[in-house]
Structure 1
Amino acid sequence: MTSTPLAAVTGAEGFIGSHLVEALVAAGHRVRAMAQYNSFSSYGWLETLSEEVLAEVEIVLGDVRDPGSVRGFAEGADCVYHLAALIAIPYSYRAPHSYVDTNVTGTLNVLEAVRALDTPRLVHTSTSETYGTAQTVPITEDHPIHTQSPYAASKAGGDRLADSYHASFGTPVVTLRPFNTFGPRQSMRAVIPTVIGQLAAGERVITLGDLRPTRDFTYVEDTARAFLAVGTADAGQVVGRTFNAGTGGEISVGDLVALIGKVTGTEVEVREDAERVRPAASEVMRLVADATRLRETTGWAPAHDLERGLARTAEFFQDPANLARYKTGIYNV
C-alpha cells in the first residue's frame, strides 16, 4: 500500500498557485502550500478555497529568499512545484534587485533544498517573456532567449540555474514555460482583469497601454493541468526538459478588448495611458506558443477556448464580493 503523494507548492497563495493547489487535491494529492510570510497571517487566495480542498492542504508561511525556510518546507515532498516569483513587468523597472532576490536567489534556494533532500521531482516555472518578441512563430522551446525586461531576465536566470543543476548534479527538474495565463483571481496588473475589472466597476472608457501586441492566452485551469501533467509524467519523459504551455492561438490587445465587450455585452471605448506603455525596446510585440512537445509527451491540451475562458473570468469579477478585493480605479503596477 502506497501513501498519498505529497506535493509542495511555493507561491501557492497566488493566482496560478491557488488553482494548482485545487487541481492537485482533486487529483488525490496531499498538498503543502507556501504562502509568503506576512504580519497579517494572510494566506492570499488560499483563503477562498473550499473547506473540502483546504482539509487536504497544510499552509506554511515562509519565504523562498531564505534557504532554511525552503529546506524545511520541502522536507518529505514527492514533488516540489516552484511558482513563487515576482511577476509584474512594470515594477521590475523600479525594483530589479527584488526580482533577482526572489526569482534567481529564490530559485537557487529551492534547487539546493531539492538537491539536499533527494526530492524525486522539481517543477520549475518559467515564462514566455524569456523569449522576447517572436523571431519565428509559433514559438518552440528552441526559440532564442531574448529578455526585454528585468523581470524576464530574472526568470531566465532561474531557468539557467535549473538547467545547470540538472546537468551538474542530476537534479530531477522539469521546466514548464506557460504563455499568458488568465482567469479568476488574477491580479489587476494583467490586461484581462484590467479590462473586465474596469467594466465590472461600471467604467465604459477603459484605460490601457499599447493595443498592438499579440498574446497567446491560456485559461488558468488548463495551465494548472499542465503543471500537474509534467509533475506526474514518467520521469524519463520529462526530467531535464522544458515545455511550453499555450494554446497556439494569438490575439492583439485591441481585438481582445473587443472580444471582452462581446462576451460581457458591453460597448467599450479604449483610451491609451502613456504610463501603461512599456519602453519601446522592452515591449514584447508577439507571443504565440508551440506546445507540441507538451502535448505529445503528456497528452495535455487546453480544454477552454478564449471566449469560454473570458466568460468564466467575467463571472468572477462581476461578483461584488470578488470585485471588492481589487482596486480598479488605479494603475496597478
Structure 2
Amino acid sequence: MNGPRVLVTGGSGFVGGKVVPLLRSAGVGVRMLAHRRVPAAGPRFEVVQGDLADPVTLDGICRDVDCVLHLASYIGKDEERSVAVNVDGTRHLVAEARRAGVDRIVQLSTAAVYGNGPFRGTVEGAMEPRPVSSTSRSRLAGERFVLGAGGAVLRPYLVYGRGDRWVMPALLRMVRALRSGLPDGGSALLSLTEVGGLAATFTRMALCSPSRRVTGVFHACPPQPVSLRELVGAAHCHLGFPLVAGDQSFEGARRELVGAGCDSHLLDLFAVDHWFDATRLRAAHGWAPDIGLPAGLAAHAAWYRDQLS
C-alpha cells in the first residue's frame, strides 16, 4: 500500500467515527483496530479485530504504519476494566508502535484528569492533575506511555456534537431540575469542543509534515470559553432546552438537584470554571478546534433534537 498509513484505535467511537472518514477522504491508508463493531473493509481501509485489554490481539498491529491515533478508551465505573484498557492497553499499544519503529503517536485524553476545578485560562503544566474518577485516573496513567514514547496527548474538556451521549443529555437533566435559577448566575466559564473540529485536529496532526510534528500535552479547546448561561441559552435556542431564569447560590442549586433525584456532580462539571487555554497547540501546530458554540450546536441540532425527544 503506497502513501501514508495511519492506525486508528476507537475508530467507530464518538471522535474516531469522525476521524476515519476524514483520513479516508484525504486518500490516506487507514488500519482500524475494531473491538465490538467491525465495519466492512474497503480500498485503503483495513479493519483488524482486537482488544486493547488483550495484548495477543495487538501483535503486529503497528507494522507498516506511519502514525498511531489512539482514540479508544473505556469510560465507566468498572475500575478493573479502566486499568485493563486505559492503562495496560495503552502500554501494550505503545510497545507495539515502538517495535514497529512508529515515532508518531497522538492520543485522545481529557481535561477531566485535572479534577473538579476551578480552572480559569489554565495552561498546560500550570496545574497538577488530580483526577477524581477511576476513568480519569486510568486515562492519566495511560498518558505517560505515549508521552514517554515522544508522542502527543490532546486534552479537550467537554466534547459535543453528533454521537454525544453524555454532555448535552447531562446538561438537559440539570436545567430541568434547576427551577430556581442557575448557580451563581451561570457565570462559570467552560471549554466546549465541537467533535468535528476535534476530529479535524487529529487528522491534521496525523498528516502534518515532520517539521510540524508536536509532542507533549496540549489542550484541544476553542480560543474562547463560554459561560454556563451562554451554554443554556444556546441549548434553548438550537435544541429546545428549558431556559432557566434567575440565579441562586451554588449550595441552593446543589440542594435543588439532589431534591430532583439528580447527581449533584453535574454542578462540578457545568457550574465551576473549566476554561483551558489552547494557545500552545495553535502555536506549535498552527491549528486547534475553533468553531463557536452557536455554530456548533446549530450544525448538530437536528441530531440532538431527534435523540433527546
TM-score (normalizing by structure 2): 0.81
Gap change, CA 1:284 and 1:114, over 3 Å in 2: farther
1:84 pairs, out of 50, 72, 76, with 72
Q: Cα offset for 1:312? A: 1.6
Displacement after TM superposition at 1:282 (Å):
9.2
1:309 match: 296
Q: Which residue of 2 aligns with 1:191?
A: 167
CA contact under 8 A between 1:214 and 1:286: conserved in structure 2? Answer: yes
Partner residue of 1:123?
106
Pair 1:56–1:311, CA change in 2 (3 A)? farther
Q: 1:207 to 1:135 in 2, by over 3 A?
A: closer
Q: Secondary structure in 1 aligned to 2:15?
A: helix
User: Is 1:109 matched up with 2:99?
Assistant: no
- Report if the CA contact (8 A) 1:183-1:219 is conserved: yes
Give the conservation status (yes or no) of the 8 Å contact 2:160–2:167: no
Amino acid at match of 1:119: V
Evaluate the alpha carbon distance shift between residue 242 and residue 299 of structure 1 in structure 2; reply closer, same or farther with a 3 A threshold. same
Distance of 1:136 and 1:186 partners within structure 2: 24
Structure 2: which amino acid aligns with 1:232? Answer: L
Once the 2 structures are TM-superposed, how far is the Cα of residue 56 of structure 1 from its aligned partner? 4.2
Pairwise mapping of residues 2-21 of structure 1 onto structure 2 (< 5 A)?
3-21=2-20
* Other-structure match for 1:63: 51
What is the DSSP-based 3-state SS (H/G/I as helix, E as strand, rest coil) of the residue aligned with 2:65? coil
Matches within 5 A, 1:95-106: 95-106=78-89
Cα distance in 1 for residues equivalent to 2:302 and 2:94: 38
Structure 1 residue matching 2:20: 3-state secondary structure? helix
Change in CA separation of 1:318 and 1:229 when aligned onto 2, cut-off 3 Å: same
The correspondence for 1:298, drawn from 277, 285, 301, is 285
The residue number in structure 2 matching 1:159 is 143
SS in 2 for 1:74: coil
> What is the DSSP-based 3-state SS (H/G/I as helix, E as strand, rest coil) of the residue aligned with 1:72?
coil
Unaligned residue ranges in structure 2 (runs of 5+): 246-255
Q: 1:230 to 1:242 in 2, by over 3 A?
A: farther
Provide the secondary structure at the position in 2 that maps to 1:33. strand
Instruction: Say which SS state the counterpart of residue 69 (structure 2) adopts.
Output: strand
For the pair 1:228 / 2:216, whether they are aligned, the reply is no
| Aligned 8 A contact 2:159 2:167 in 1 | no
Distance change in 2, residues 1:265/1:318 (3 Å):
closer
**Residue 132, structure 1, aligned to residue 115, structure 2:** yes
Q: Which residue number corresponds to residue 169 of structure 1?
A: none
1:219 matched to 2:202: no
**Structure 2 counterpart of 1:191, one-letter code:** V
Deviation of 1:112 (Å): 0.7
Work out whether residues 96 and 150 of structure 1, in 8 Å CA contact, stay in contact via their aligned partners in 2: yes
User: How far apart in 1 are the matches of 2:143 and 2:22?
Assistant: 24
Q: Is the 8 A contact 2:67 2:102 kept in 1?
A: yes
Three-state SS of the structure 2 residue aligned to 1:276 is coil
Q: Give the direction of change, closer, same or farther, for the CA distance of 1:245–1:161 in structure 2 (3 Å limit).
A: same
Q: 1:150 aligns with which of 131, 134, 138?
A: 134
1:288 maps to a residue whose letter is: W
- 1:64 and 1:106 in contact (8 A); partners too: yes
The answer for the alignment partner of 2:265 in structure 1 is: 278
Q: Distance in 1 between matches of 2:267 and 2:231?
A: 21
1:249–1:289 contact (8 Å) kept in structure 2: no
8 Å CA contact retained: 1:131, 1:143: no
Whether contact under 8 Å (2:121, 2:277) holds in the other structure is yes
Aligned sequence identity (%)? 28
> Which of 140, 160, 176 is 1:182 aligned to?
160
Q: Deviations over 1:24-83 (max 9, x none)?
A: 11222111112213xxxx34xx68xxxxx9654322221111112223322221111001
After superposition, the C-alpha distances for 1:104-153 in whole angstroms (9 at most, x for unaligned) are: 11110111111111113111222111122446531211122221222211
- Distance in 2, matches of 1:156 and 1:195, equals 25
Offset, 1:284: 8.7
Residue 274 of structure 2 aligns to a residue in which SS? coil
| Residues 161 and 297, structure 2, Cα contact 8 Å, conserved in 1 | yes
- Tell me the secondary structure at the aligned position of residue 59 of structure 1: strand
Letter in 1 for 2:18: H
Distance in 1 (CA, whole Å) between partners of 2:26 and 2:182 is 39
| Cα separation, 2, equivalents of 1:29 and 1:80 | 13
Distance, in Å, in 2 between the alignment partners of 1:148 and 1:114 is 30
